[in-house]
Amino acid sequence: MCKTPAQASDFVRAFLPLVAGHTRDEIVLCPAFVDLAAVADALHGSNVKLGAQNMYWEKEGAYTGEICPSMLLAVDCSHVIIGHSERRQFFGDTDEAVNKKLKAAIAAGLTAIVCVGEFLEHREAGQTDAVLERQCSAAFSGISSPDAARFTIAYEPVWAIGTGKTATPEIASDAHRVIRKQAEKVFGLAAASNLRILYGGSVKPEKSAALLAQPEIDGALVGGASLDATSFASIVKYGL
């Protein structure tokens, strides 16, 4: 919940030159709803895509305060974040709601970034694997193997969101293996092997290279560090 439309446009103007010609990675910006149209205009013709931070699963109706898939498509969104830890923690998004949103995103042709992750009490109790298996199983319910290519998973340990704490590369890799194994159970080995799994949780420029060098980690879902163009660009261009 940062940046006005004018501030978001200024960010894009500062960010695009820093990543111009960058083809190794897919880059997606997911600003607040009120900023989507302004950011879409600023991104036009660039190598950066646009996503939203959330959506509702119905096509339209009396759901005041919500945004439907067709509205996102109308402002040139290609991606949408679903089940972000803050949506689960503060706004009551359930595993069932995440599944409904994922199905709606796939049906609309949006690429969903589906977030899963454990709270600190789960990790301390040794329940991380069980939580990830439950969240993934619920999210994947009723999704076909071919449709597994149409979404991305983001592992977000809730204890690392906004706290400055970052999972070690080893902790993150272990969690990603659990997620991929659950995907294999549902979609098969080929689809699970091709599934992109991102790490999210206090991703900072100084820590990103070690995380993103892990074979199990396919990218990053960046929060606070993405609010500054130079900081975010340095994460995008890690290792170069």
Q: What is the pLDDT of residues 32-59, one digit of tens each?
A: 999 999 999 999 999 999 999 999 999 9
Single pTM value for the model: 0.95
**pLDDT given for residue 26 in this prediction:** 97
Q: Which residues contact 20 (CB under 8 A, 6 or more apart)?
A: 46, 47
Please write the tens of the pLDDT for every residue from 103-150: 999 999 999 999 999 998 999 899 999 999 999 999 999 999 999 999
- The more confident residue out of 121 and 163 is 121
Q: What percent of the chain has pLDDT over 70?
A: 100
**pLDDT given for residue 132 in this prediction:** 98
Confidence of residue 66 (pLDDT cuts 50, 70, 90): very high
Q: What is the mean pLDDT of residues 174-198?
A: 97
Catalytic residue among 79, 118, 122, 156: 156
Give yes or no for a contact between 70 and 60, defined as CB atoms under 8 angstroms apart: yes
* Known catalytic membership, residue 84: yes
- The more confident residue out of 239 and 77 is 77
What kind of fold does domain 5-236 have according to CATH?
TIM Barrel (3.20.20)
Cα torsion angle, 1, 124, 214, 105, sign:
negative
Catalytic residue among 84, 118, 122, 176: 84
**pLDDT given for residue 202 in this prediction:** 84
* Known catalytic membership, residue 156: yes
Nearest alpha-carbon partner for 11 in 206, 219, 227: 227
Q: Domain residue spans in the chain?
A: 5-236
Mean pLDDT, the chain, as a whole number? Answer: 95
